[in-house]
A and B are shown apart, each in its own frame.
Chain A
């Protein structure tokens, strides 16, 4: 009896945490997102850019060209221009100042979220919870199907025995 109670509590905990993780991670939306890709693509095209995300690689190349062009213009700014004077006034560590990685192709877009040697398993534990819930649901569904099959088989045998 005690074993059964522990089992029920454990299964309930797994299912509750799994459901919570499922909602928290936006599991359903992220799973089926690929099936609504065409719609997302069309929406992306509405902002006036030709092709939206369809021409993502072309957009990225164009973006890089624009970026390098802007950097070249920045380098060749006349010293007496306002922008040119301001460039020297930024302090290290401040936005736009020396040491700021923005605009230099670093940070998230260039793989800056590599994280180094950090371990943060908080998000992984939510995935584990969802995974455990899937396993648990399958185990008990399997048991239910087996039980129903056995019952059906017993019902079939019984009339045979009567005759």
Chain B
């Protein structure tokens, strides 16, 4: 299970970095499709950690340590950023026809939203990885559990 989580997180990180510039890696088509797939990966990541989410949600104010609370709040913002990123991506999509779920509003607004949310989410992603660095080292067998 931990190995699956590790490879899933690694692929999300690599793809997220490749998606930061739509022109850098196989163009806009790849950017849009991979953006949707990364969303699915993110949901899978949440499903795999569902026990932790449930546990912390139940005892957020009573049992949790400050670090767990920080991780939970950070994850909450990451989820919000991811949703905004995908939603704004759908709104300005050019190669995929998603007109049936196109949200209203001006494309200019959604473009700014897409850029801002992706930049902020990448920063939060970095903080998330930093807080789980020990776990990463354990998976890479650099540090013993």
Contacts and interface: CB of A to CB of B under 8 A. Distances in A.
Contact of A128 (B17, B23, B29): B17
B95 A32 contact: no
Given A134-B126, A142-B130, A115 B28 contact: yes
A53 B127 CA distance: 34
A117 B120 CA distance: 28
Interface stretch (B4-12, B45-53, B55-63, B105-113): B105-113
A31 interface: yes
B127 A138 contact: yes
A1 B68 CA distance: 34
Interface string B96-134: 000000000111110011011101101101110111010
Contacts of B24: 119-124
Contacts of A15: none
A33 B112 contact: yes
A120 B23 contact: yes
Interface residues of A, number: 45
B25 A57 contact: no
Contacts of A120: 23-24
Interface in A130-155: 130-139, 141-142
A54 B17 CA distance: 31
Contacts, number: 116
Contacts of A32: 116
B140 interface: no
A116 B29 CA distance: 9
Contacts of A130: 122-123, 126
Contact of A53 (B18, B28, B109): B109
B25 A127 contact: no
Given A34-B113, A123-B21, A131-B126, A114 B107 contact: no
A114 B129 contact: no
B13 to A, nearest CB: 8
Interface string A15-41: 000000000000100111111010011
Contact of B21 (A110, A127, A137): A127
Interface of B: 17-18, 20-29, 94-95, 105-109, 112-113, 115-117, 119-120, 122-123, 125-127, 129-131, 133
